[in-house]
Amino acid sequence: MKVMRIRQIVGLLVLLSAFPATIRSQEQNVSATATASTSTYANTTEGLKHLLLDMRTAAKEGNEYKLTAFVKGMEIPNCGAWLHRMYDSDKADSWMGLCEVKFRDPREREMMELFGRIAKQNGKITTRKVNDNPQPGKGMEWGWLQAIKLPLDIYWASWLPTSEPKESEADPIGYFMFIEGAFRWENSIQSFKPSQTKITHAKIVQPKLVKKVDPIYPSEAAARNIVGTVRVYYVIGGDGLVYNAHAISGDGLSEDPSLRRAAEEAVLQWRYEPGTFDGKPMQSTVTVDIRFSPNH
């Protein structure tokens, strides 16, 4: 009896000692799958389409492990360092929400939920290369292309259900950038709709500004009598904080660096009661115009 108990204990210890190796092996497999999942697609609109179709297939098969690997593989490697190489330091700092786990992880869950929904629908994925075919006018996409310091291929993707024959009715999937040989998701720009794709009676409450900090008119701009309007694009998180505030370019808008920086710094200090979707906090995207002049 004692010999049997000793053998049982030894067997248990061997089994327990194997757990860390098994866990490490699983983690390595997740990492390897994530890397392989996004690095085998060509840097073209068709390459992005194939990637997203494969993600839809994984969702359709109920393969959450594979879908998670796809989404994790679309994170930007060394995100903070990349931002500061790609943008001027003031703009890079305002985009750091792209790298923050507390901001990124909920958005990744939303992405997986989105593919879970479209896996149940018939339709098609459409893609567009922003560099070659940006939205008309000098809006967000135009300003984005002007802000980057290094070459960057940027794409847009959307889902068009068969029930919606018009491209204008397509459901947004999001923006993607080709970085270090793979597509990376620009998760800080609100793109897809929260919750159900088609909900006709959902209650939406817009965010409410509860704390506003006025921008400081820069002394160097005042000394040179520089005036102008700065348009700031930003994201209101589900926590009511402002993320990724950055000035955009356009007709009649100021390009003065000191005014743009002052506007961004002020908006980043604003606080909101977050918007809600059926009672649940949601992210919102906003633009605001700030006028700088000696009297305002």
- Look at residue 192 and tell me whether its pLDDT is greater than 90: no
Pick 197 or 164 by higher pLDDT: 164
Per-residue pLDDT band for 165 (boundaries 50, 70, 90) equals low
Per-residue pLDDT band for 81 (boundaries 50, 70, 90) equals confident
DSSP the chain: -HHHHHHHHHHHHHHHHHHHHHHHHHHHHHHHHHHHHHSSS-SSHHHHHHHHHHHHHHHHTT-HHHHHHHHHHTSPTTHHHHHHHHS-HHHHHHTGGGT-HHHHHHHHHHHHHHHHHHTTS-EEEEEEETTTSPPSSSSHHHHHHHH-SS--EEEEEEEEETT--SGGGPEEEEEEEEETTEEEE-TTS--SPSS-SS-SS--EE--EEEE--PPP--HHHHHTT--EEEEEEEEE-TTS-EEEEEEE--TT----HHHHHHHHHHHTT-EEEPPEETTEE--EEEEEEEEE-TT-
Same domain, 101 and 217: no
Question: Which of 192, 227, 249 finishes a domain?
Answer: 192
Pick 167 or 84 by higher pLDDT: 84
| Total number of domains in the chain | 2
Quote the domain boundaries for residue 65: 27-192
**pLDDT given at position 21:** 45
pLDDT tens sequence across 257-280: 999 999 999 999 999 998 887 677
Pick 193 or 258 by higher pLDDT: 258
Percent of the chain with pLDDT over 90: 35
Same domain, 207 and 185: no
Looking up residue 284, the CATH number of its domain turns out to be 3.30.2420.10
Same domain, 131 and 71: yes
**pLDDT given at position 48:** 95
Question: Which of 161, 192, 223 finishes a domain?
Answer: 192
Per-residue pLDDT band for 44 (boundaries 50, 70, 90) equals very high
User: Quick check: is 184 in a domain?
Assistant: yes
Question: Which of 192, 227, 250 finishes a domain?
Answer: 192
- What mean pLDDT value characterizes the chain? 79
Pick 169 or 137 by higher pLDDT: 137
Average pLDDT over residues 80-94: 76
